[in-house]
Structure 1
Amino acid sequence: MAGQDCVQVLLLLLASTLLPHGASGQRVKVEPEVLSYPGQTVNLRCAFTDTTGIQLTMVTWIYEPKEGERMNIAVLHPVFEPNYPDSPLKGRVSFMQSPPNMDGPSIQISDVRMTDEGKYICEFASYPSGHEQGVTQLVMLTKPQNSASPLTVEAGPKPMVVARCESLNGRPAAQIRWVTTANGNATTSSKPGQDNTVSVTSEYRLAPAAADNGKDISCLVSHRTQTSPESFQMKLKVLYAPQVAIVGYDNNWYVGRTNVLLTCQASGNPVPTTVLWKSMTGEMPDTVQIKDNQLKVLKVDEAVNTTFVCEVKNRVGTGRDQVTALVRGTRLPEKGATTGSIIGAIIGVILIVAIIGTAVAMYRKHRAGKLNGDGPPKHKPPPPKKKNNTAIRPVTTNNAPAAEERLLHDQHYRTQDAEPVTDLDASNDNEVDDNGGGEGARVHYYAAAPSGWDDPGNGEAPPFYKRSGNESQEYRQATDVSRGDSFVSSGMYV
């Protein structure tokens, strides 16, 4: 019975090798990539998704390193026990299930090493489709040791390394980039590290100048083991000789001037250590006092009519500056304001005054308008009342007042402008004054606009209308007004 089983197995193996291969990876499910660190246990999953009408005869796990030949590391047969051929992984590789399952022959590798990185192929021998497989890439990760530092250099015309950044013993190789305002460039190189790792070194180069000292420079290291780039912030270190400048000379040193001061300003890396003042004519004048980087002239005379030199030293070199003092007989006049600034100030004052004056005038005008009642009338005065066509006969026994009243009445109507009246018949033609119109009654006059003074009473008239003794007592008719110019009819004599 056992011999028959062996024969069947051999026949199945022979058939699987002779049958053509099916479409690879269509029904074999694996993880495309698995990440792991050295010393961990990694699981490599594999499953045949659809076995309908298919008989699985054998499963083989194959390891394919990046460099070297392929090798079988695990074999599963439905009849025999699992087999682990000789390989670098023997003793560390095994099927995950016990007993193993032909539909899901996943394996695990314990204590993984950097040398275990490569391709792992899960291959099925089936009937009648033949061989089908899935490939998993095992990527070994090692977190690198990152560091960066600036290099101290002296200013000069030749390019040199001013900063270095390293990522040592990482897997896979790290990526390095620089961020700085310095005008230079970077060079990057890599080399194999320990246990199949990679070390990456990047150097930043430039021709250093004094202005580059203290500039910011950053190294950014990116790696798969890091969630974000690791940043190293630094400042460039450039050594340079002192840069010197003498300040304080105003070109107005005149005889008798006192306490004038010159200051020697210097910058350098390292910090300058010594400051030396000299005179081009030899010895320093007696009126000169020197303290550190300051030269003070107590009183200006012909002796200080010379060139002063300031020398500053550090361990890199020496820097100097000089100033020639010209002693004058008299003091230079002080500079006043320029003509342009004076004119500008005057124009500005004029504009301000004009604005203020305009504002005051507008305010006064507005206030005067309120006090005088300027503006349109709040209501329209009533139209004049229509009278009978008969001549107005004031009831009086005195001819003089009656004549004056007639003259006033006539003048009143003559001065009226033409005004349209929509309905003159609306008023009562025989309207009689409420006072009875008797002898002592006061006659009221109506006009389209206020006359500016009250209606005259009995025996009253403004001086302008008083008649002279030469005038006739009869009523004098004024010049006729055409009907087109007035709605008041011409006077009638009875």
Structure 2
Amino acid sequence: MLRKLCCVILLMIQRDTESTHVIGGRRTVVQGEDVDLSCRLIERTQELKQITFLKSTQDEKHNLMHIYPNGVTDFVAPNGLKGRVQFIGNPSENLGSIRITSVRLLDEGTFTCIFNVFPSGTYTTEIPLTVLVPPVVNVTVDVTPVIGENEVVLATCVAAGAKPQADVKWKTGTLDSLLRTVTNSTQHANGTTTVLSHLLGVPTRAANQQQVQCVVNQSALATERSYNYNLDIHCKYILHYYFPTL
């Protein structure tokens, strides 16, 4: 009889274990905004002991926060998150969720949500967090072009420090057939990329003060951005020295 009772209990635990799981999901956020990382334990009938969040990057993995059944939280490892993480879940509803405010690029990584229940053990889900960084855009020219016959850089559009890389194009209107672009990029150690798109052409008097547009597209931007620029081409001055005859 005792053996049958033990078998029934084990079978009930096994069935409960098979139906119990944690749901989460991938999140993407723009740098500077807030993001909620949500996870929920489904079909729990056993006793909740603790919810734990881990933070993983390419270099390390460490405990971030412990949440207890009464809602008390224990923040373990700051890792630049101190003062910016709060628990917004509800253990009694099997909801383990945190909010990160003013997200930084260094917050990117994989967060692991772990529910520890008795007697079956732990249930986990991973929540990958991707941080997008909008570009800082500037249209300028390093050397002011002077009217001449050789092709030079007339303007440069810089989309700096973006993640992912920004797409930079030019709209040149009636000058389209007279100009061309050369674009290159530099990837930085923090995962951001700077794009420089040079607008090249022969500097002529007719092109002076003609308006062109640098057009930038990137995932962190809500809409396409256009930046107007008036080509600034200077005249070539030739100095003639006059020496009066004595």
- Pair 1:62-2:54 in alignment: yes
Residue pair 1:210, 1:238 contacting (<8 A) in 2 also:
yes
2:157: which partner in 1?
Answer: 165
Q: CA deviation at 1:209?
A: 5.5
The residue type paired with residue 208 of structure 1 is V
Q: CA deviation at 1:75?
A: 2.1
2:227: which partner in 1?
Answer: 232
Q: Distance in 2 between matches of 1:42 and 1:231?
A: 28
2:26: which partner in 1?
Answer: 32
Q: Distance in 2 between matches of 1:137 and 1:185?
A: 35
Q: Distance in 2 between matches of 1:162 and 1:107?
A: 50
1:346-405 CA-to-partner distances (Å, cap 9, x unmatched) read xxxxxxxxxxxxxxxxxxxxxxxxxxxxxxxxxxxxxxxxxxxxxxxxxxxxxxxxxxxx
Q: Distance in 1 between matches of 2:171 and 2:71?
A: 62
Q: What TM-score do the two structures reach when normalised by structure 1?
A: 0.36
Q: CA deviation at 1:22?
A: 8.0
Residue pair 2:31, 2:102 contacting (<8 A) in 1 also:
no
Quickly say closer, same or farther: Cα 1:43–1:186, change in 2 above 3 A.
Answer: same
Residue pair 2:154, 2:203 contacting (<8 A) in 1 also:
no
1:268-306 CA-to-partner distances (Å, cap 9, x unmatched) read xx3xxxxxxxxxxxxxxxxxxxxxxxxxxxxxxxxxxxx
2:185: which partner in 1?
Answer: 189
Q: CA deviation at 1:191?
A: 5.2
2:99: which partner in 1?
Answer: 108
Q: Distance in 2 between matches of 1:171 and 1:198?
A: 5
Residue pair 1:46, 1:122 contacting (<8 A) in 2 also:
yes
Higher relative CO (Cα under 8 Å, sequence separation at least 6) belongs to: 2
2:9: which partner in 1?
Answer: none
Q: Distance in 2 between matches of 1:22 and 1:87?
A: 35
Unaligned runs of 5+ in 2: 1-16, 240-246
Q: 1:221 aligns with which of 216, 219, 243?
A: 216
Residue pair 2:166, 2:195 contacting (<8 A) in 1 also:
no
Q: CA deviation at 1:48?
A: 1.6
Q: CA deviation at 1:92?
A: 3.7
Quickly say closer, same or farther: Cα 1:230–1:36, change in 2 above 3 A.
Answer: closer
Q: Distance in 2 between matches of 1:130 and 1:212?
A: 73
Q: Distance in 2 between matches of 1:145 and 1:80?
A: 41
1:399: which partner in 2?
Answer: none
**Equivalences for 1:10-89 in 2 at 5 Å?**
27-38=21-32, 41-51=34-44, 56-65=48-57, 67-78=58-69, 82-88=73-79, 89=81
- Pair 1:178-2:163 in alignment: no
Q: Distance in 1 between matches of 2:18 and 2:115?
A: 11
Q: What TM-score do the two structures reach when normalised by structure 2?
A: 0.66
Q: Distance in 2 between matches of 1:212 and 1:190?
A: 34
Residue pair 2:112, 2:124 contacting (<8 A) in 1 also:
no
More strand by percentage: 2
Q: Distance in 1 between matches of 2:206 and 2:102?
A: 50
Residue pair 1:76, 1:102 contacting (<8 A) in 2 also:
no
Structure 2 SS opposite 1:115: helix
The residue type paired with residue 41 of structure 2 is F
Structure 2 SS opposite 1:106: strand
Q: Distance in 2 between matches of 1:72 and 1:102?
A: 23
Q: Distance in 1 between matches of 2:62 and 2:155?
A: 46
Quickly say closer, same or farther: Cα 1:189–1:77, change in 2 above 3 A.
Answer: same
Structure 2 SS opposite 1:122: strand
Residue pair 2:114, 2:122 contacting (<8 A) in 1 also:
no
How many pairs were matched up? 215
Residue pair 2:22, 2:123 contacting (<8 A) in 1 also:
no
Unaligned runs of 5+ in 1: 1-20, 240-269, 271-313, 318-494
Q: CA deviation at 1:315?
A: 2.0
Q: Distance in 2 between matches of 1:174 and 1:207?
A: 24
Q: Distance in 1 between matches of 2:225 and 2:35?
A: 28
Instruction: Tell me the percent identity.
Output: 21
Quickly say closer, same or farther: Cα 1:43–1:80, change in 2 above 3 A.
Answer: closer
The residue type paired with residue 217 of structure 1 is V
Q: Distance in 2 between matches of 1:41 and 1:199?
A: 23
Structure 2 SS opposite 1:166: strand
The residue type paired with residue 87 of structure 2 is F
Q: 2:237 aligns with which of 285, 296, 315?
A: 315
1:208-250 CA-to-partner distances (Å, cap 9, x unmatched) read 26487346532111233433221123354556xxxxxxxxxxx
Q: Distance in 2 between matches of 1:164 and 1:110?
A: 35
1:200: which partner in 2?
Answer: 194
